[in-house]
Chains A and B, each alone.
Chain A
Amino acid sequence: MSDDHDHHDGNDDHELRVSKIRDGTVIDHVRGGQALNVLAILGIDGTNGEEVSVGMNVPSNRFARKDIVKVEGRELSQDEVDVLSLIAPDATINIVRDYDVVEKHRVERPDVVEGVLSCPNAGCITTGDEPVTSRFSVLEDGVRCSYCETIVRDEIASLIDT
Chain B
Amino acid sequence: MRHDHLITSKQLSRGDIETVLDYAAEIDADPSAVADRHTDTLLGLLFFEPSTRTKMSFETAMKRLGGDVVDMGSVDSSSVKKGETLADTVRVIEGYADGLVLRHPKQGAATMASEFVDVPLVNAGDGAGHHPTQTMLDLYTIRENAGLDDLTIGIMGDLKYGRTVHSLAYALTNFDAQQHFISPESLQLPREVVYDLHQQQDGTGIKEHDSLEEVLPSLDVLYVTRIQRERFPDENEYQKVAGEYQIDAETLEAASDDLTVMHPLPRVDEIAPEIDETHHAAYFEQAHNGVPVRMALLDLLLSDDRGIRGETDE
Are A149 and B85 in contact, CB atoms less than 8 angstroms apart?
no
Interfacial chain A residues near B85, Cβ < 8 Å: 128-131
Contact of B272 with A by CB under 8 A: no
Complex: how many Å from CA A150 to CA B104? 17
Are A149 and B191 in contact, CB atoms less than 8 angstroms apart?
no
**Contacts A123-B127, A125-B112, A126-B112; is A149 near B107 (CB within 8 Å)?**
yes
Which positions 89-127 of chain B face chain A at CB distance < 8 Å? Answer: 104-109, 111-112, 115, 126-127
Contact of B128 with A by CB under 8 A: yes
Of B83, B109, B126, B192, which is within 8 A of A150 by CB?
B192
Are B106 and A123 in contact, CB atoms less than 8 angstroms apart?
yes
* Closest chain B residue, CB of each to CB of A144: B192
Which positions 114-153 of chain A face chain B at CB distance < 8 Å? Answer: 121, 123-126, 128-132, 144-151
**Contacts A130-B86, A132-B112; is A124 near B192 (CB within 8 Å)?**
no
Q: Which range contains the number of B residues in contact with the other chain? A: 20 to 34
Scoring B residues 180 to 215 as 1 if CB is less than 8 Å from chain A, else 0, what string do you get? 000000000001100100000000000000000000
Contact of B129 with A by CB under 8 A: yes
Interfacial chain B residues near A145, Cβ < 8 Å: 108
**Contacts A123-B127, A123-B128, A125-B112; is A147 near B107 (CB within 8 Å)?**
yes
**Contacts A129-B85, A130-B85, A131-B87; is A149 near B108 (CB within 8 Å)?**
yes
Interfacial chain B residues near A132, Cβ < 8 Å: 87, 112, 115
Complex: how many Å from CA A160 to CA B112? 21
8 extra interchain contacts, Cβ-Cβ under 8 A, other than A125-B112, A130-B87?
A: A123-B105, A123-B107, A124-B106, A129-B85, A130-B85, A131-B85, A146-B108, A149-B107
Q: Pick the 5 closest A-B CB pairs, nearest first.
A: A147-B108, A148-B107, A148-B108, A125-B106, A125-B108
Q: Which residues of B contact A (CB under 8 A)?
A: 83, 85-87, 104-109, 111-112, 115, 126-129, 191-192, 195
